[in-house]
Amino acid sequence: ASLTTAAAVFGDEEKKMAAGKASGETKESSLSLTTEEKEALSGMDSRLFGFVSLHEDGARTKTLLGKAVRCYESLILKAEGKVESEFFCQLGHFNLLLEDYPKASSAYQRYYSLQSDYWQNATFLYGLGLVYFYYNAFHWAIKAFREVPYVDPSFCRAKEIHLRLGLMFKVNPGYVSSLKHFQLALIDSNPWTLSSVEIQFHIAHLYETQRNYHSAKEAYEQLLQAENLPAQVKATVLPQLGLMHHNVDLLGGKAPKESYAILNLQRSLA
């Protein structure tokens, strides 16, 4: 189910508040959003997490989101919390984009408690999963992320979901599931917040943790052949290769593998 736009939600709440004001009430200076600001906010939800900059060129976006949060909080306070449930969901999205996780969690939980069919809202489930992921509440994050494709099979951030599921199953551990989700992330052509080489590193490291050393060695060495490999990734891969050759007897005779281990550690330092 698609979200009601922020402009519509906020506009409805403003009308309700205006209708409820006593005619003799003194007009107070309160926060309000312009029509242009409401239109800009209408497309902002959890799907933009990691894809919107809040620095330099994105400073205006950060300012707008901050103003929106203050406006929403002000209206909720005046209405004593008696606003549409969608209002809390959108407030959760704004706080998530601002990386204010405690406030995002609080708003999402309010929406969850008020909206009986919350499970049909893909952007809510995705945002909630991101908050749980941040707090390392992996059991709940996995549950939220897994619901998203059932609600919206063409969800545009499926790649981000597979990435995080891969990382969580790698830690849990659930090696088969982790590898499956990393591979699904790699074949997804949508943009994402990490590079392919970083995911390939996780796959290689996953093989290593499973003691599948030959596959790990092959994956690490293949990764070193990647074009434009970031120096930081290369400096991480080389010592993994070096230490693995030093510690694992399956990778050849003692002298050759020690020599290879030293070579890779020296390359890593360079």
Q: What is the DSSP letter of 106?
A: H
Question: What pLDDT was estimated at residue 24?
Answer: 37
Sign of the dihedral defined by the CA atoms of residues 61, 62, 63, 69, in that order: positive
- CA-CA distance, 165 to 177, in Å (whole number)? 8
Per-residue confidence in pLDDT tens, the chain, 270 aa: 333 444 455 555 555 555 544 443 433 335 789 999 999 999 899 999 999 877 666 788 999 999 999 999 999 999 988 899 999 999 999 999 999 999 999 999 999 999 999 999 999 999 999 999 999 999 999 999 999 999 999 999 999 999 999 999 988 878 899 999 999 999 998 888 877 888 888 899 899 888 888 888 888 888 888 877 777 777 777 777 777 766 666 555 454 545 555 554 555 555
The answer, as to whether pTM is greater than 0.85, is no
The angle, 0 to 180 degrees and rounded to 10, between the axes of the packed helices 85-97 and 122-134 is 50
Amino acid at position 41, single letter: L
Question: What pLDDT was estimated at residue 56?
Answer: 65
- Answer whether 67's CB lies under 8 Å from 30's CB: no
The angle, 0 to 180 degrees and rounded to 10, between the axes of the packed helices 196-209 and 231-247 is 10
- Answer whether 193's CB lies under 8 Å from 160's CB: yes
User: Burial, 95: exposed, middle or buried (Cβ in 10 Å; 0-12, 13-18, 19+)?
Assistant: buried
